[in-house]
Amino acid sequence: MRNPRFGRASLVMALTLIVALFIAACGDDDGDDGGGGEEGGGGGKIAFLLPESQTTRYESQDRPLFEAKVEELCPDCEILYQNADQDPANQQQQVEAAITEGVDVLVLDPVDSTSAGALANRAKQADIPVISYDRLILNGDLDYYVSFDSVEVGRQQGEALAQKLADDGNPEGPIIKINGDPKDNNAKLFDQGSDEALGDAGVEVAKEYDTPDWLPENAQRQMEQAITAVGKDRIKGVYAANDGTAGGAIAAMKGAGMNPAQVPVTGQDAELAAIQRIIAGEQYMTVYKPIKALAEAAAELAVAVANGEEPPEGLVNGEEDNGQEKVPTVFLETIAVTKDNVADTVVADGFWTAEDICTQRYQKACQDAGIE
């Protein structure tokens, strides 16, 4: 016999279930499941946090290139972008705000590689995957790392400088070494790679400095001290870790009456001002890091992770030990650039156009370097 009470209860349960499913479906419409990603969805919130803005690459390349690739891969994704302006406390607040906001993935380029480990762990506790961007986050739980091989960048700088010193008849230097910000793990790796190359070549380092916050004015002050201590006629070359610090060192050399065309200076980032100095003979070399490839690889990882999917096959090509674990890593290649190959590298790649480089002041230098 049919039990009418049981029948009504079943109906109520079924209706409740339908309503619950309907609410759940609507609740997922914004593509945000409050952290941790979602299966096969088409949305998600991506926090993209960069470390500073005085080095030109971050605002003019990393940010727009990352945003454009996310927009292409996932038009419904939302990006929460912040720049810490070199302040670790700022960055901590920005990470905390992203966690509170319930982002689906955190892409973090740390100001301070060591203290960022705790930030990554806090995100992971909130079930938010973490991707370390360009600089490695040390001693934290990470999902991916995407970067250039920074030891190799240092080696390219050191080898180019050692070769130029030998060509100039000064194989033993001495040189001045201006490293990057000690809070940045990359700075240690650039130092390590360049020391290997310079040491192998038997180049003497007369004075060596770390550059707090990577600031060009700090590099300039340090170079002034080095010139006073070592003597402007003894210095045969300068290792500067990036183009900003190279600019500071060159300003100090000019201020002391040295001719930078006769004292090779290294750099990194292929900044427009550095490319112009290179073709004008004021800076010897830079390292070209194809930032488009970096930003796009990070965007591919971030979109996949935000949607609870695996990254595209073959993208991850290595692993990096961050002191806590081996992190699946995308490593990208870099190229040493001197006057001889500006045209075949940064110009051929569209990183800078001939119009960008060849302003009135540099027209003759552009012709000499075959840039048109």
Q: In this complex, which beta carbon is closest to ligand BGC, that of residue 56 or of residue 121?
A: 56
Task: Classify burial at 282, counting beta carbons within 10 Å of its beta carbon; exposed 0-12, middle 13-18, buried 19 or more.
Answer: buried
Q: How far is the CB of 334 from ligand BGC (least distance, A)?
A: 10
Q: How far is the CB of 100 from ligand BGC (least distance, A)?
A: 27
Q: How far apart are CA 140 and CA 113, in angstroms?
A: 10
Q: The dihedral of CA 312, 315, 317, 319: what is its sign?
A: negative
Q: How far is the CB of 181 from ligand BGC (least distance, A)?
A: 7
User: Residues 79, 67: contact at Cβ < 8 Å?
Assistant: yes
Q: In this complex, which beta carbon is closest to ligand BGC, that of residue 186 or of residue 307?
A: 186
Q: In this complex, which beta carbon is closest to ligand BGC, that of residue 214 or of residue 362?
A: 214
Q: How far is the CB of 262 from ligand BGC (least distance, A)?
A: 26
Q: In this complex, which beta carbon is closest to ligand BGC, that of residue 294 or of residue 302?
A: 294
- Footprint of ligand BGC on this chain (CB under 6 A)? 52, 55, 134-135, 180, 184, 186, 214, 242, 268-269
Q: What 3-state DSSP class applies to 12? A: helix
Q: How far is the CB of 62 from ligand BGC (least distance, A)?
A: 9
Q: How far is the CB of 60 from ligand BGC (least distance, A)?
A: 13
Instruction: List b or e across 35-48, with b for residues whose CB sees 16 or more CB atoms inside 10 angstroms.
Output: bebbeebebbbbbb
Q: In this complex, which beta carbon is closest to ligand BGC, that of residue 179 or of residue 307?
A: 179
Q: How far is CA 320 from CA 40, 206, 328, in A?
A: 28, 33, 7
Q: In this complex, which beta carbon is closest to ligand BGC, that of residue 38 or of residue 52?
A: 52
User: Residues 112, 52: contact at Cβ < 8 Å?
Assistant: no
Q: How far is the CB of 177 from ligand BGC (least distance, A)?
A: 16
**Number of neighbours of residue 368 by Cβ within 10 angstroms:** 13
Q: In this complex, which beta carbon is closest to ligand BGC, that of residue 145 or of residue 214?
A: 214
Q: How far apart are CA 334 and CA 353, in angstroms?
A: 19
User: Residues 135, 110: contact at Cβ < 8 Å?
Assistant: yes
Paired tokens of 192 = 């390590």
User: Residues 251, 220: contact at Cβ < 8 Å?
Assistant: yes
Q: In this complex, which beta carbon is closest to ligand BGC, that of residue 157 or of residue 338?
A: 157
In this structure, the strands spanning 105-108 and 130-133 are parallel
